[in-house]
Amino acid sequence: DGGITQSPKYLFRKEGQNVTLSCEQNLNHDAMYWYRQDPGQGLRLIYYSQIVNDFQKGDIAEGYSVSREKKESFPLTVTSAQKNPTAFYLCASSMRIQRYEQYFGPGTRLTVT
Amino acid sequence: KNEVEQSPQNLTAQEGEFITINCSYSVGISALHWLQQHPGGGIVSLFMLSSGKKKHGRLIATINIQEKHSSLHITASHPRDSAVYICAVRPYGGSQGNLIFGKGTKLSVKP
């Protein structure tokens, strides 16, 4: 089945550690996105990528990094510089960057203590 | 002021009721999305529309571009419709990757 997978579903880390969240899609989509969701707030864009080896900062990129070495994969690293990393992280993809529906993964809930 | 406002924030309905969720936005847009987020967190895209009306099963989405308003209707609601419904808009002239999301409407349908 085509879709987006994120792993793990739940992730726990100690403060000061970097952590990488996985996102894989087999939809042959060019564009991929990372969002953060906090209670009572709308989703906010962290990074997006239009094509392999290209990515752009979203609204809240500070403390995060990404790579796009393969079309299928868009991992997100939450660095120790991120002040409030505990959140629900959603990955999405779309055929192209504009005018297309976005398909979302199941999300990863990250807790940093 | 939020650029995308949804109402109500919370909605409880009895099975079988007709439900309406509203979305108002303050920017010019090229498209509006309705999304459904289940209790486990996964999000499903329901509709993407830029004018008029779309229907899929018991779900109907309408948009009035002049009034900057969209509605999501659910006919013959069922407990399995319980979820958070999110409105998101793609603004004209914004960064290419950006959707602006509302905070969501939490719907609970009681049997």
- Report the pLDDT value the prediction gives residue B95, as an integer from 0 to 100: 59
Most confident of A60-64, A92-96, B26-30: A60-64
User: For residue A5, which of A93, A95, A100 has the smallest C-alpha distance?
Assistant: A93
- Report the pLDDT value the prediction gives residue B96, as an integer from 0 to 100: 59
Q: What is the mean pLDDT of chain B?
A: 92
Q: What is the mean pLDDT of chain A?
A: 92
Mark out chain B residues that contact chain A at CB-CB < 8 A. Answer: 2, 4, 30-31, 33, 35, 40-45, 48, 86, 88, 90, 95-104
- Report the pLDDT value the prediction gives residue A74, as an integer from 0 to 100: 98
Residue A31 token pair: 């564009």
What average pLDDT does the segment B41-58 reach?
93
- Report the pLDDT value the prediction gives residue A100, as an integer from 0 to 100: 77
The 10 Å CB-count burial string (b at 16+, else e) for B64-83 is eeeebebbbbbeebeeebbb
| pLDDT grade for A87, boundaries at 50, 70 and 90 | very high
Which of chain B's residues have a Cβ under 8 Å away from the Cβ of A110? none
- Report the pLDDT value the prediction gives residue A67, as an integer from 0 to 100: 97
Which of chain B's residues have a Cβ under 8 Å away from the Cβ of A31? 97
pLDDT at B1 over 60: no
Rounded CA Rg of chain B: 14
Any idea how long chain A is? 113
- Report the pLDDT value the prediction gives residue A75, as an integer from 0 to 100: 97
- Report the pLDDT value the prediction gives residue B71, as an integer from 0 to 100: 98
Indicate the pairing of strand A108-112 with strand A10-13. Answer: parallel
Which of chain B's residues have a Cβ under 8 Å away from the Cβ of A48? 96-97
- Report the pLDDT value the prediction gives residue A97, as an integer from 0 to 100: 74
- Report the pLDDT value the prediction gives residue B99, as an integer from 0 to 100: 87
- Report the pLDDT value the prediction gives residue B40, as an integer from 0 to 100: 83
pLDDT at A98 over 90: no
pLDDT tens readout for residues A35-76? 999 988 889 999 999 999 999 999 999 999 999 999 999 999
- Report the pLDDT value the prediction gives residue B98, as an integer from 0 to 100: 75
- Report the pLDDT value the prediction gives residue A46, as an integer from 0 to 100: 96
User: For residue A55, which of A80, A79, A21, A30 has the smallest C-alpha distance?
Assistant: A30
